[in-house]
Amino acid sequence: MRSLRLAAVLLAVFTGSLALALAQGDSRHSGYQDMGPALRKMQDDDTANPAMLFVQSGEALWSQKAGAAGKSCADCHQHATVSMKGVAARYPAVAGETGEPVDLEGRINLCRTNHQQAPALATESDELLGLSAYVALQSRGQPIAPPNDVQLAALRAKGAEIFRQRQGQLNLSCANCHDDNPGKKLAGATIPQGHPTGYPIYRLEWQALGSLKRRLRNCVVGTRAEAWPFDAAEYLALESYLMERARGMAMDAPGVRP
């Protein structure tokens, strides 16, 4: 209970400071705006953006029956272009079935295991990335709108704490780069503000599509810390905090990033 109250206070402080920032003119921007014209063009053109190849797979999976229930996503949700509009902009959220917070990938896998009675899709598999990219695409241009929920507030507070926690051999926190030094250079690369507007992203470094979780792991490894395992609660907390931090910003998934 105590941590919940603390979370509520932290959230109030955070929301307050956010409102202040907005009043002073929003200086937040997406990593898209840190890229040069060539990479922006790559993202903007759906027949040049390599992430769209993965979206194509996701779209095919959407209407493909799976599991013992013999159901497809479309059997329940019909047209993703209608039913999934703005959905990715609201995750992480609390899942109805479990009462626990999940991210979009977690939500897709809950549908897999509960409604389709199919095995969960592997983390960072082409299937899971394709589906989440197809769903995220339906939120393009939509404002990031994390739900108001006490449980999520606690998670965001935890995420905020991790964000400011120094770690690794370089003794760096997320905030050291993304709050204190965005726009400056780190090994030749521009440090972005770290807003998760475009996930899953086609990262040129990966030459593939990847999730926010994978990107967070890269950052953690970058500080020379040991990355948390893929199922660690830290990611969900960070994701929740980052979405709150980017509240109101427009989604541009699936993004291209260097």
Partner 1 sequence: MANVLVNAPRTAKKGQVVEIKALIMHVMETGYRPGTNGRIIPRNIIQDFTATWNGREIFRMRMSPAIAANPFVSFSAVASESGIIAFRWSGDAGFVAEHQVAITVT
Partner 2 sequence: MTPRRPERSEAKSRDLFVRRRKTGPSAALRATIGRRSFLAGAVTVVPFAAQATPEVLAAVIREVTGDAPLREGRVTLDIPPLVENGNAVPLTVKVDSPMTDDDHVKAIHVFNEKNPQPHVFNAWLSPANGQARIATRIKLADSQKVVAIAETSKGEFWSAHTDVIVTIAACIEDVT
175 binds partner 2 (CB under 8 A): no
121 binds partner 2 (CB under 8 A): yes
Who's near 25: CB < 8 A, 6+ residues apart?
Answer: none
When CB distances are held under 5 to 8 angstroms depending on the partner's kind, the choice from partner 2, partner 1, none that residue 230 binds is partner 2
42 binds partner 2 (CB under 8 A): yes
50 binds partner 1 (CB under 8 A): yes
Q: Mark the segment that binds partner 1 (CB under 8 A) among 45-53, 70-78, 170-178, 243-251.
A: 45-53
47 binds partner 1 (CB under 8 A): yes
Interatomic CA distance for residues 156 and 194, integer angstroms: 16
Q: How far is the CB of 230 from partner 1 (least distance, A)?
A: 16
188 binds partner 2 (CB under 8 A): yes
222 binds partner 2 (CB under 8 A): yes
Q: Which residues pair with 71 in a beta bridge?
A: 66
Q: Mark the segment that binds partner 1 (CB under 8 A) among 54-62, 77-85, 229-237, 242-250.
A: 54-62
**What would the DSSP string read from start to end of the chain?**
-HHHHHHHHHHHHHHHHHHHHHHT------GGGGS-HHHHHHHH-TTT-THHHHHHHHHHHHTS-BTTTTB-HHHHH--HHHHTTTTGGG-SEE-TTTSSEE-HHHHHHHIIIIIS--PPPPTT-HHHHHHHHHHHHTTTTPBP-PPP-HHHHHHHHHHHHHHH--BTTTTB-HHHHHTTSTTSEETTEEPP-----S-SEEETTTTEEE-HHHHHHHHHHHTT-PPPPTT-HHHHHHHHHHHHHTTTPBP-PSPEE-
**Residue whose CB is less far from partner 1, 91 or 202:** 202
112 binds partner 2 (CB under 8 A): no
When CB distances are held under 5 to 8 angstroms depending on the partner's kind, the choice from partner 1, partner 2, none that residue 168 binds is none
122 binds partner 2 (CB under 8 A): yes
Among 39, 74, 95, 208, which residue interacts with partner 1 (rule: CB under 8 A)?
208
Q: How far is the CB of 147 from partner 1 (least distance, A)?
A: 34
69 binds partner 1 (CB under 8 A): no
Q: Tokens at residue 31, please?
A: 């990593």
Judged by the rule CB under 8 A, the positions of this chain that interact with partner 2 are 35-39, 41-42, 50, 57, 121-127, 130, 186-191, 204-207, 210, 214, 217-219, 221-222, 227, 230, 258
Judged by the rule CB under 8 A, the positions of this chain that interact with partner 1 are 45-48, 50, 52-54, 56-57, 207-208
